[in-house]
Amino acid sequence: RTIAVHGTPLPGFPPPGAVLVFHDVTDLRRLERMRQDFVANASHELKTPLASIKVNTETLLDWGLHDDSVNVILLNQIDEQVDRLDNLVQDMLRLARLESSDAPFLLEPMALGPIVRACVSDHEPRARAREQRLIAECDALDDSVRVRAAEEAIRQILDNLIDNAIKYSPEGASIRIAARTDDQRVRLDVADSGPGIPRDDIPRIFERFYRVDKARSRSLGGTGLGLAIVKHLAQSLGGEVGVESQLGVGSTFTIRLPRHRETA
């Protein structure tokens, strides 16, 4: 029999044969608080685009149907907000999936180089549209550099980091994706020369929905969940993520993953 006790046990308590379990109530409260904050933040994030869609559909129904140019503007705005809701729901589902399982991916040994190079080339059209240059310095990643991972997880990590670097850097900037290895680990850097992150915000940017500048992030299509997802993904691969940043100079996000060695 298990009895949970909070506070001082009564005399003669517990009865013989019972097992006492002392919960750390502060930890439970903190978790409950985080859950409540998440629900509140998520509801707010969902409400904002919904409210904007509602205003536009009402305007269309009341006024717009006679004027084609107004219709097109309003419909485009609705389309943008639907995309935003779609991104948000997808990111929330990704995070829920990562948080609900200790082992969300099947890990297999794989070469890292081809995955990094494919990710970089996937992002080239977006970078080019902003006249930015993606510079991949992946020579250290020959086929002998292997990790025990899931391709989907590595791609998602790099997608989110490169996406942020493109989004937050000015037009014409260069973004460097570099790889280094040592005996034990592989290190991937995504470095930009964007606005940088204020020192006080750095410890918080991996929290769900935390943004340095909410309005800017939203206007660039951000959900505020990208880095929380990156952190979970890195941990699920036995690795970690870190950042070094200087205001007005740029930011470098670093992923470290354990290297896989074949045993003969």
Q: To the nearest whole angstrom, how small is the minimum distance from the Cβ of residue 206 to ligand ADP? A: 7
**What's the chain's length in residues?**
264
Q: Which residue, 179 or 205, has its beta carbon nearer to ligand ADP?
A: 205
Q: To the nearest whole angstrom, how small is the minimum distance from the Cβ of residue 264 to ligand ADP? A: 42
Contact residues: ligand ADP, CB under 6 A: 164-165, 168, 192, 194-195, 197, 205, 211-213, 217, 222-228, 251
Residue whose Cβ sits closest to ligand ADP: 222
- The whole-angstrom separation of Cα 163 and Cα 166 is 5
Q: Which residue, 223 or 236, has its beta carbon nearer to ligand ADP?
A: 223
Beta strands in 162-261 (DSSP E): 174-181, 185-192, 240-246, 250-258
Q: Which residue, 113 or 226, has its beta carbon nearer to ligand ADP?
A: 226
Q: To the nearest whole angstrom, how small is the minimum distance from the Cβ of residue 54 to ligand ADP? A: 23
Give the β-pairing of 174-181 and 185-192: antiparallel
Residue indicated by tokens 């970089």: 120
Number of neighbours of residue 254 by Cβ within 10 angstroms: 18
Q: Which residue, 46 or 107, has its beta carbon nearer to ligand ADP?
A: 46
- The whole-angstrom separation of Cα 216 and Cα 214 is 6
Q: To the nearest whole angstrom, how small is the minimum distance from the Cβ of residue 195 to ligand ADP? A: 5
Q: Please give the structure tokens belonging to residue 116.
A: 């990094």
Query: Where does residue 209 fall: left (phi above 0), alpha (psi -120 to 50 degrees), or beta otherwise?
Result: left
Q: To the nearest whole angstrom, how small is the minimum distance from the Cβ of residue 69 to ligand ADP? A: 32
- The whole-angstrom separation of Cα 245 and Cα 249 is 8
Q: Which residue, 130 or 148, has its beta carbon nearer to ligand ADP?
A: 130
Q: To the nearest whole angstrom, how small is the minimum distance from the Cβ of residue 223 to ligand ADP? A: 5
Q: Which residue, 64 or 226, has its beta carbon nearer to ligand ADP?
A: 226
- The whole-angstrom separation of Cα 245 and Cα 194 is 10
Q: Please give the structure tokens belonging to residue 242.
A: 């870190």
